[in-house]
Structure 1
Amino acid sequence: MSTEGKMPSIKKFLLNVRALLPYFVVNYLRKAIQVQSKIVFVLSFPRSGTHAIGSLLSNDQVGFHYYGEFFIFNAWNKNIEKINRHYPFFSFRYSQNLKQQRKKWSYNKFETTSLDSRKTLSAIKKIPGIHVIKIFPQHLPDKELESLISEFKPHIIFLRRNHLDRFVSHKKANASGKWHTASTSDLVINLDANELKRFTNDFTDFYTRYVKFAKAQGCQILDVDFDDLHNPEKVREIQSFAAFPGFSDWDKLTLAPTTVKQDRSSKVQDDFLVSMGKSHADFTFPRVGS
């Protein structure tokens, strides 16, 4: 490894050492202080608009902290350093896993490392603010995710998108290797009806199971369709769901996603629908109970 690669790791390690004193003070010498903290899970699926919803629920200045795909080391948030005060050497270990994840993509879950998802959420609950974390199927094992939902009772946003649109977007992203910002409108891909059926069934089963489980645990739930992200009234409803009671800095939160739409063409979908004799509505991802 080059000296340039070692320096950030050394600096990160020293930051974690420096955080040990505040950790002992906060956790052993000082009386526990109640803070206003809230965990919000966005339970969804790849290419469903989670990047867009994240842009609607992100403004550190007013306490909205969006962590992205936090449980598979796919994003960095400046609040990660604050976790060290309640979970020693967290950011150092997280950064090492993030570096490894970027070298070679994999579903690198917390349980394969020395980090613990329960301890992580316990630490985050001690940090003021609204903490928004998105979770896809396979990010965490079912037993672990169920345990976190049962214990922490997070507010949960379920985000759905038309199965065919999501499938096409997913296939194009995989084919191009570009998951954000790059245009995929002119990319030609082939669709397999059986693969689409498995894709649809797998994600529908995950969604249905967790809606029912979360309700049984007494969690507050908001069910959102992809198209809602472009409706200012719906966007404000999403933000109100995540916000603390009495929140008033609405002008600090955007009413439109700040993300760039990668695919502006529906030709792949249109050609597939003609070949199958189906309509776009046949692949709607309905809300549970509708």
Structure 2
Amino acid sequence: MNPSLEQLKILLAAAETGSFSAAARKIGKAQSVVSTAIANLEIDLALTLFDRSSRYPQLTQAGSRMVKEAEILLAQSERLQAVAGELAAGIESRLTLAIDDDSHLPWLGAVLEQFANRYPMVELELLFPLMEDVTELLVTGRAQLGICYQREHPQREIVTYSLTEVAMPLVVSPSHPLARKPLLREVDLQGSRQLMVTGRREGSERQRFRLSAQVWWVEGDLGVLELVKRGLGWAAIPAFLIHQPLARNEVVKLKSDFISGQALTLELQWHRARPLGLAGCWLKAALQAL
């Protein structure tokens, strides 16, 4: 008997969550359904996929290999469905683009102008969630396309396309004590207030670039920049935002002996299994070309 796509999805959920009960919650099914599906899959494949001798099931060596194969098969299946959906779709009436911070709007403006001329009847919605919230909107179907910085732990359902590298220099105001140090050590940054962008979730992404023991959390790069200019702390800020503040001597770049060339990858994202209409496909292609 050939394993079904549903069985493979349950296998991945169990592998990702680490337990059958957590997998059941993730996919919205009873735990007994998950346990039975895994057991039947093991029978169909003539393999033991999980070691059940401890409190939580552990993938066997064969199970780990099957997980990798299942990921490939499911990705191909989802791509087939998405391509078929896009071929069948006409011009959608509404399209939502989720962008990590509204500070990206200036460089997106030209593409949005082209979109307006090409699809004047499509209702475009621009949302500005931060960090993990962009991916969450894509997973739930609330948004069709997303632009955000590369995540530390990407999700399998989301396809990513690298748009560019964004330099993230460390800056402070000219009056800040750190501005008078010719070369910063790690301990200098650890002992001074750090200003950091945050979404509305507690998670690893929020703490990813934290160095200081004291942090002020700000919802957006423009807000961080304003507080930096007022001398309230140091921060890593996208280079495209600080050209004018640097020219006006509102901020200065810091030099460090342990951080050099810090940059983040900016990505275009979409859900692997959700088809885009004609307008969405055009916008995706235009952003990739940009």
TM-score, normalising length: structure 2: 0.25
Greater fraction helix: 1
Which TM-score applies when normalising by structure 1? Answer: 0.25
Give the number of the structure whose residues are more often strand, by fraction: 2
Which of the pair has more CA radius of gyration? 2
